[in-house]
Structure 1
Amino acid sequence: MDTRTKYVEKLSADIVEWDNQIERLKEKMEDAEPEAKAQYAQSIASLKEKRNQAAEKLQNLHVADDNEWEEVKKGAEQIWEEMKTMLKENITKH
């Protein structure tokens, strides 16, 4: 398996894990007080939006040719870091 394939598979696994973490936040939201539910809902919406951006970048990686690969990879890495930060902040906040 080449390096690009391994990289894409790792990013795909990250998205699956993020989906699981978002689901756990949804479960916590169900048991929260009304005011906290609103905060959870806002956090979940932001996380889903960033997750969708990451999925789009992942699709771009799948189709990137050798000339585009590094540029697309940089963009993906930026979104991945943003998503990791958002998850960390939201999980510790809630």
Structure 2
Amino acid sequence: MSLKETKDAYVEKLKLQLDEWSAELDVMEAKARQADADFKEKYQGKADELRYQKTLAQGRINALQEAADDAWEELRNGSESIWGTVRQTFADAKAKFDNK
């Protein structure tokens, strides 16, 4: 597998994960719309955080796509910690909403 193929496969994997998180966020927003006022208020802050994290993840995908083939590995290494934070934020939010 060439470096370009590896880069493209990695970016595609991240895009699929981001799509999954977007779908989860849609489900959580629908659930929140049907909830009581107190839950909606608590949810709004979490939703804003999730949208922010999603934007960070999308920005990282864009940076990886635009990186020269010889520089993308370094960007990928830096992306792992950001991606881990986004993953944890979504997992925490999903757990809270699933328990609601």
Is TM more than 0.5 here? yes
Partner Cα separation in structure 2 for residue 30 and residue 46 of structure 1: 17
Note the C-alpha offset of 1:31: 1.1
Runs of 5+ unmatched residues, structure 1: none
Aligned to 2:81: 78
Question: Which protein has greater RCO, CA pairs closer than 8 Å, 6+ apart?
Answer: 2
Q: Which runs of 4+ in 1 moved over 2 A?
A: none
Give identity over the alignment, percent. Answer: 28
Matched positions, count: 94
Tell me the secondary structure at the aligned position of residue 66 of structure 1: coil
Runs of 5+ unmatched residues, structure 2: none
Note the C-alpha offset of 1:20: 0.3
Aligned to 2:37: 34
- Normalising by structure 1, we get a TM-score of 0.92
- Worse-superposed segment, 77-86 or 19-28: 77-86
Tell me the secondary structure at the aligned position of residue 93 of structure 1: helix
**RMSD of the alignment, in Å?**
1.3
